[in-house]
């Protein structure tokens, strides 16, 4: 899909990781950007392989740009998890493009609502993507988070 970023028009794809190198890029980005501090990151976490989970990579040509996981385990809402853009690509529109593409991904599979646990620093980003705070009883591994949702 052609997306206009502040770095010009780029051809982006959001798809499952295709090889070991892409999985390593996912693990490295998650570990550095989402599991800083004392949280332990497990590369072999069973959620990544579960049948109702879709680990996705955002790629442009051969370049790894970012990652997220679409959780399709709930019948009413899809959950977006472990959302991250590579540090050197942030601030150019890739994150919002990934969210738009992920919304298409889950909509095509029948979901009409999305939820996520946003870290405080990302709340502004998700608001720009059309999310708003919601009440959600699912606990989060993030200590200070804002639960957010969006209808598709
Ligand atoms: C949050 C993250 C995914 C955003 O990706 P990104 O590619 O930098 O975001 P974009 O460039 O697409 O930004 C889209 C819009 O959100 C705004 N935005 C981005 N980050 C923001 C922030 N932290 N606070 C407020 N607004 C923000 C941008 O200014 C832009 O607004 P515009 O449309 O008016 O220009 C990225 O910064 C990241 O990977 N952060 C570390 C991991 C993380 O926190 N993940 C979220 C876990 S819940």
Q: pLDDT, tens digit, for every residue of 67-79?
A: 999 999 999 999 9
Nearest CA to ligand 1 atom 1: 122
Dihedral sign for Cα atoms in the order 131, 33, 75, 23:
positive
Mean pLDDT (the chain, rounded):
95
Per-residue model confidence (pLDDT) at position 30: 97
pLDDT (average), residues 84-92: 97
Is residue 7 pLDDT above 90, yes or no?
no
Separation of CA 130 and ligand 1 centre (Å): 12
Task: Looking at 47-136, list the stretches that DSSP marks H as alpha helix, in order from N- to C-terminal side.
Answer: 94-108, 123-128
pTM of the model: 0.96
Would you say residue 36 has pLDDT above 80?
A: no
Q: Are 59 and 65 in contact (CB under 8 A)?
A: yes
pLDDT band at 38 (very low <50, low <70, confident <90, very high): confident
Are 78 and 113 within 8 A, CB to CB? yes
Q: With 90 as the cut, is the pLDDT of residue 16 above it?
A: yes
Looking at the chain, the whole-number percentage of residues with pLDDT higher than 70 is 100
Ligand 1 mean position, distance from CA 80 (Å)? 15
Return the residue matching tokens 């890029």: 25
Counting Cα atoms < 13 Å in the Cβ hemisphere of 1 gives: 15
Q: Which of the following CATH numbers is that of domain 2-151: 2.60.40.1180, 3.40.630.30, 3.30.70.1060, 3.40.50.1000? A: 3.40.630.30
The burial of 102, by beta-carbon neighbours within 10 Å (0-12 exposed, 13-18 middle, 19 or more buried), is given as buried
Residues facing 67 on adjacent strands: 57, 84
Tell me the C-alpha distance between 118 and 151, whole Å.
16
């Amino acid at each position: 899909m052609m997306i206009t970023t502040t770095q010009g028009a780029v051809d982006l794809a959001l798809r499952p990781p295709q090889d070991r190198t892409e999985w390593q890029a996912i693990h490295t980005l998650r570990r550095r950007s989402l599991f800083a501090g004392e949280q332990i990151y497990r590369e072999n976490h069973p959620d990544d392989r579960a049948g109702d989970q879709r680990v996705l990579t955002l790629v442009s040509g051969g370049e790894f740009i970012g990652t997220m996981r679409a959780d399709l385990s709930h019948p009413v809402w899809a959950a977006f998890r472990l959302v991250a853009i590579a540090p050197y690509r942030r601030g150019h529109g890739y994150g919002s493009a990934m969210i738009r593409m992920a919304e298409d991904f889950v909509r095509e599979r029948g979901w009409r609502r999305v939820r996520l646990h946003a870290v405080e620093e990302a709340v502004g980003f998700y608001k720009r993507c059309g999310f708003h705070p919601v009440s959600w009883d699912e606990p989060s591994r993030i200590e200070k988070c804002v639960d957010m949702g969006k209808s598709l």
